[in-house]
Amino acid sequence: MPEGDTIHRAAVNLAAALVGRTIVRSDFRVPRLATSDIAGEPVDEVLSVGKHLLMRCGRWTIHSHAGMDGLWHILRPGERAPVAVHTIRVVLEAEGADGSRVQVVGSSLPVLELLPRERDGEAVAHLGPDLLSPSWSDADAAEAARRLRATGAPVGVALLDQTAMAGVGNVYRGELCFLRGVHPATPIDRVEVEPLVALARRLLVANRDRTERTFTGDARRGRRTWVYGRGGQPCLRCGTRIRDAQLGLEDGMLRQVQWCPRCQPEP
């Protein structure tokens, strides 16, 4: 599931493939961008901000959000993206000074925008401090803690609020609650928020360069998470059966969340 670490890694890989090259073909497959063409624009920078990705190309910025299933694919000449054609939202081909070419494909992207570069900050202005920001500071940590408290929501809801702290998704939410020993329904004002923010930052940094993230230190399949995706299975710490339920969000959406009833007592 794409979360802050996944998008960070995508940005690093896309930057390595594209920066310094020039777009020679662009094919946007969403209605509002169907006639857009950025051929001739240089690729200057690719960066992540929380779960958002910004690809800065000359006068323009391609802004995307991966949602639940979005992916970016880097392809060699003649290679096809390993996804159904109808899921492709954008195809970009770029050429280097030596004439070599690379193609990237964005698939299943629920958000895809082409913005004037001078205004691309507006796309991410609503976000809280980015946990994977290279300039992360004590001030960012304090602001994230303040914003989490201000949500007034259960901790399992507050952690998914990107306006409080950017980069945490459903996987990290469940694992953070387990590692801090708090039930997801615990009111945020009953949680030690500062250690939670510090742990979120530490976990995202630890996983940002891994192809398969792990929260347990064990890279084996089925052993990488403490609770996420393990509903009905024994807790790796105490053996109690992991519970699985839905927790509501302010946007009306429900997200599955898992917890250990012994390690994370109900509030």
Q: Which residues are catalytic?
A: 2-3, 51
Nearest to 143 by CA among 89, 197, 213: 197
Structure tokens at 124: 């991410």
E strands, the chain, where?
Answer: 22-28, 43-49, 52-57, 60-65, 71-75, 88-95, 101-107, 111-116, 243-248, 254-259
**Beta carbons of 129 and 144 less than 8 angstroms apart:** yes
| Cα four-point dihedral sign 263, 178, 220, 197 | negative
Structure tokens at 91: 């195809």
Phi and psi, residue 119, nearest 5°: -115, 10
Report the distance separating Cα 158 and Cα 155, nearest Å: 5
Report the distance separating Cα 190 and Cα 182, nearest Å: 9
Report the distance separating Cα 241 and Cα 47, nearest Å: 40
**Beta carbons of 194 and 165 less than 8 angstroms apart:** no
Look at strands 111-116 and 71-75 and give their pairing: unpaired
- Tokens 């000449």, residue located: 77
